[in-house]
Amino acid sequence: MKNKKKNIQPGQVHIQLPKDAISRIKLGQAFAEYDRILMEPGVFVMTPSTEAALNPSMSKCFFIGRRGTGKTAITKYISEKYHTAIEIHPQVLSPMLFPLDPESLSDPRQRPFRSLAEAFKRAIQDEVLLEWVKRKLIDIDQLPSILAREVKRVKELDFDLRILEFLESICKPLTAKDESEWLQQIGRSKQLAKTMLEVAKDSSFDFTLLIDRIDDSWDGSDTAVIMLMALMHACIEVQTSVRCVRPLLFLRENVFDRVRQIDKESTRLETCVVSMDWTHELLLEMIERRLSLPFITKLAIGGPTWDHFFEKTASESSESLIFEYCQKRPRDILTYCSFALEIAQSKAHEQVTIQDIMDARRRFSETRLKDLGDEYAENFPQIAHVLSRFYGLGHEFTITGIEDFIKKLLSDKRIQAHCSSWIYGFTQPEQFVSLLYNIGFVGIKTTSETQFRSLGPSSSSPPPVSSETHIVIHPSYNDALDLRPAIITNLEKDLSWQTVGLLTDLPEAIDLDTYIGRLDSLAEELETLPDGKKHATKWEDVVGDIIKLCFFKWLSNVEPRNRDVDGCVIRDWIASNRAKTGFWNMIFHKYGATQIIWECKNYSDLQASDFQQISYYINSNIGKFGLIAFRGEVQKHYYEHIKRIANEKGGLVLLLTNRDLQVFVRQAKNGKTSEGHIQDKFDTTIRMIS
């Protein structure tokens, strides 16, 4: 296809890009944690939410948005550009031995909840206190005694372990009804805050805490919701009382909605919320900056760059074809543009044509449907199977059509088996429609207008539903579900579900029921298997099954007790790295890891010999990356061994605890395929050894 000549207006400077310009473009990764391009000069787009995060005077501390709206991009940008930012990815909001009854924690004004919030406040303050010592802003010997004692007590504990220790020290006198001791414990964070303010002489002591990726280890239980609520209250109290500590919490809106439902003081939280909103102009700028990156000479931002690389006809706008279709969500727009660009490049087009955009639609639609099921898997386990039941039906439903659909769902044995924990709470049409509306799957049509939910947290209530209402599935799911352009007014009872064409993410030669059953068995074994040499082989089997069942999308050809050609080196597990995107693809490029080594240690305390062993296994032939799965907690001195391996061999070792493996199993059982949890382990390790 030939480029059309551009009309040059008087006074404009004509800029000529190379003829093969489109072949040089790479738009980058849609997931910010893997996106190398994001930190290139001139690529990051400054949004209102970013400006709010950078402006302490705004007193905002909660950044709420749907998945893919730029929360992690902001934390990555701020942590890279500003040396006074600290990233925290809490894991403590997952299941654990909790010292208090969850029912006693529901009221924020009562002592049990106050105890929980105080533990979070103290852990947040300690994060900054430890950073002062680490950066030598103040000598530990010159600290006031209360701060010196605190540093000595917590310097070997990470954020999560501090929370657990503080909870124990505060809750023990509470349950024993020791009034004096409880008051002393509850007052510690206030004493620390007062003394820290006396020490913080200037702005060099001011730090911002970026608390992100809560959902990666969040199980959606009532206990987890209450703990998150306590963290949010702690953030507000610390920000308003300790000038030098500014915690910012980045949270998905469906998780935030759970807190709003139970928090009796939710209006207090609402005043500190920033919505992750994007305008059409900012979304256009995001793509244009990435399009311009390879070129020294750049076209103007605001339309000219887009028009140079994307075809525009008199009847169709490439912008609206993509932006409206993607619900104006930045990650989706970046993904769709990347798919269309790949097609244009493969056909040696000089522009991304309208046809290229249409050809990319099915691939994007399938990706979007899987991502939706993954996004809400923790709230509604296996919700992807409910969405899949729309396959081959119509794109629009009347209320009676929805009623028939619900009846068929409730008689579906697979839905009964895997969605029973939540589906019976949505048996009424209004409830079911509200659920689908809130997750962005459907819109509500009144007269000729269809309203879909916007991205912000302020629009969670759907329009009223009546007998005249029509329910419209969002067009971005039409191709993946092969929906017909028809209005469904009723469904026959004996109508069979259609599933042809839908891709199910399961290991080969295994059905869903068997898959869930094996995951349940793994979860039980992780909970009950004793540690020690006697059960070492069984522990290896458990880890091997986790690799096969939880990482099958990226790791294949999993082999046990693998020996090298000399018969000397024995690795517990080795798996081929076949990932094309995401975390494992990043590991492939960074460490040359075509093969992934897993070592299994059925004991709690790792020794120097364990690190020496895996260091011997990783090499330039298979890659310089390995994992150790063990039964204890990560100790700070373990990172010294990992740092030595990084310095001597240019490799990296990740440590996975029993709790980490439980997270992988739980997410797989719920239908969640995100790599966020293992990415967090990687990020933590890199920060600790850097």
Contacts of 363 (CB under 8 A, 6+ apart): 339
Helix (H) or strand (E) holding 114: helix 111-134
**Which single residue is written with the structure tokens 């525009």?**
312
Distance CA 419, CA 416 (A): 6
What's the pLDDT score for residue 119? Answer: 92
Q: Which pair of structure tokens corresponds to residue 150?
A: 């605190």
- In the chain the first and final C-alpha atoms are separated, in Å, by 49
Q: Report the b/e string of 464-501 with b at 16+ CB within 10 A.
A: ebeeebbbbbbbbbbbbbbbeeeebeebeeeeeeeeee
Q: Structure tokens of 384?
A: 């992807």
Helix/strand number for the chain, H first, E second? 28, 15
- Which residues, 6 or more positions from 142, have their beta carbon under 8 angstroms from its beta carbon? none
Residue spans of the domains in the chain: they are: 53-275, 279-359, 369-488, 512-689
CA distance 115 to 511: 46
CATH topology assigned to domain 512-689: Restriction Endonuclease (3.40.91)
Phi-psi region of 440 (alpha: psi -120 to 50; beta: other; left: phi over 0): left
Contact 250, 109 (CB under 8 A): no
Contact between residue 433 and residue 440 where contact means Cβ atoms under 8 Å apart: no
For residue 591, what pLDDT is reported? 95
DSSP letter assigned to residue 619: B
Q: Are 74 and 215 in contact (CB under 8 A)?
A: no
Cα 382 from Cα 351, distance rounded (Å): 40
Q: Over the stretch 207-252, which tens digit does the pLDDT of each residue have? A: 999 999 887 667 777 888 888 999 999 999 999 999 999 999 999 8
Q: At what angle do helices 111-134 and 188-199 cross, to 10 degrees?
A: 30
Query: Helix, strand or coil for residue 399?
Result: helix
Residues of the chain with pLDDT under 70: 1-15, 94-104, 216-217, 455-461, 499-505, 508-509, 561-571
Assign 3-class secondary structure to 344-359.
HHHCCCCCECHHHHHH
Q: Where are the alpha helices (DSSP H) in 382-453?
A: 383-388, 399-410, 413-418, 429-438
User: What is d(CA 156, CA 146) in angstroms, rounded to the nearest whole number?
Assistant: 17
Residue 650 is given by DSSP the state S
pTM of the model: 0.82
pLDDT value of position 217: 67
Q: What is the pLDDT of residue 512?
A: 81
Compute the distance between CA of residue 189 and CA of residue 112 in angstroms, rounded to an integer.
16
Judged by DSSP in three states, 212 sits in: coil
User: Whats the size of the chain, residue-wise?
Assistant: 690
The Cα 334–Cα 241 span in angstroms is: 40
Cα dist. 578→444, 467, 553, 676 in Å?
Answer: 41, 50, 8, 18
Sign for the CA dihedral angle at 439, 441, 446, 449 comes to positive
At 689, list the tokens: 């050894």
